[in-house]
Amino acid sequence: MSTPELVGTWIAALLTFCALSFLYKDNPFYKFAEALFVGVSAGYGAAYVVHQVFYQDVIIPLSVCFQVAGQEPSAILQVINRIVPCILGVMILSRFIPSIGWMSRWPLAFIIGYGTGFNVVYIVQTFLLPQIYGMITPLVEIVRPGEAPYEGLTWGGVMVLNTVSNLVLFVGVLSVIAYFFFSKAHTGSYGKFTRFGVWMLMLGFGATYGNTVMARMSLLIGRIQFLLYDWIEGAIGLSLPG
């Protein structure tokens, strides 16, 4: 392990302990690690954006455009393409000066208008139509000759488990939608159907909660692996069993 790696590993290990110390109770070491993280993240982000975005997308193209402006008429258009977004970006900062704060509304109007228009099509193409289509077809799955052999349970050429799964999905989606339809009282057989929708929602929340527990454990496992292998074995030099 080289010296910079060694120093980096020790700092990372100590900061890991500072962060984990919050599990006992709030303390100055945790606050220090938290503040350091926020500061470093903000600094890294600012420096990266200036270097990777402002320099690449504004400074370099503009300098090239100005160099060839005399020979190539299209260079003027390129300059406008770069300058207009920059002006809109600066206008957003006008919020800090109350007397000219109104100027920030123009770029915001542009962002909202562009975002809404673009996202309407995106939502329909990604979430609405394909999901409705996927929910409905195929409701009953049949073993077709010539296709890859199906190893699951079949009954009269129908793939039983796949079909049951599709029906549960179909009825589940309808019952959840019915639950969120408040213009009709949830009573009688309709009420029982919406109750089924609540069960479906609970199953979904349960699956999400289980996955969340798994995700959080994975993150802690990552830290433990770092402490055991990178810090104890790599930086300190102790060998561990296992």
Partner 1 sequence: MAQQPHVKRDIWASLLKIDRRIVFVFIFVALTVPFLIPGMNVPVETQPPAEKLFAAIEALPSGSDVIISFDYGPSTKPELSPMATALARHCFSRDIRIYAMAFYLEGPAIGEQILREVAEEYGKEEHVDYVNLGYKPGGPAAVIMGMAAGVSQVFPTDKNNTPLGDIPAMSHFKKLSDIELCISLSASTYPEAWAGFAKARVGVPCAGGVTAVMAADFYAFLDTGQLVGCLMGMAGAAEYEELLVSNKVNENAYGTATQGMASQSMAHIVIVAFVAIGNIAMYMSLRNQRRSGSRRRKGGSRSVNS
Cβ at position 218, least distance to partner 1 in Å: 4
Shortest CB 227 distance to partner 1, Å: 9
* Shortest CB 239 distance to partner 1, Å: 11
Buried b (16+ CB within 10 A) or exposed e, 125-139: eeeeeeeeeeeeeee
Minimum distance of partner 1 from residue 241's CB (angstroms):
6
159 near 183, Cβ under 8 Å?
A: no
3-state DSSP assignment of residue 155:
strand
Question: At 45, which amino acid appears?
Answer: G
27 vs 211 by CB, closer to partner 1? 211
Please identify, using beta-carbon distances, which residue of 47 and 97 lies nearer to partner 1. Answer: 47
What's the closest the beta carbon of residue 181 comes to partner 1, in angstroms? 21
By beta-carbon proximity to partner 1, the closer residue of 68 and 100 is: 68
- The DSSP H or E segment spanning 158 is strand 158-159
Find the shortest distance in angstroms from Cβ 66 to partner 1.
Answer: 16
User: Looking up tokens 């409905």, which residue turns up?
Assistant: 136
Residue 188 Ramachandran class (φ > 0 left, ψ -120 to 50 alpha, else beta): left
Closest CA to 110 of 118, 121, 98: 118
Exposure b/e, 3-32, CB count within 10 A at least 16 = b: eeeeeebeeebeebebbeeeeeeeeebbee
Nearer to partner 1, 15 or 142 (CB): 15
Binding residues for partner 1, per CB under 8 A?
A: 23-24, 44-45, 48-49, 52-53, 56-57, 60-61, 115, 118-119, 122, 125-127, 130-131, 133-134, 169, 204, 207-208, 211-215, 217-225, 228, 240-242
Q: Residue 64 or 76: which CB sits closer to partner 1?
A: 64
Specify the residue, 100 or 236, whose C-beta has the smaller distance to partner 1.
236
CB 105 within 8 A of CB 99: no
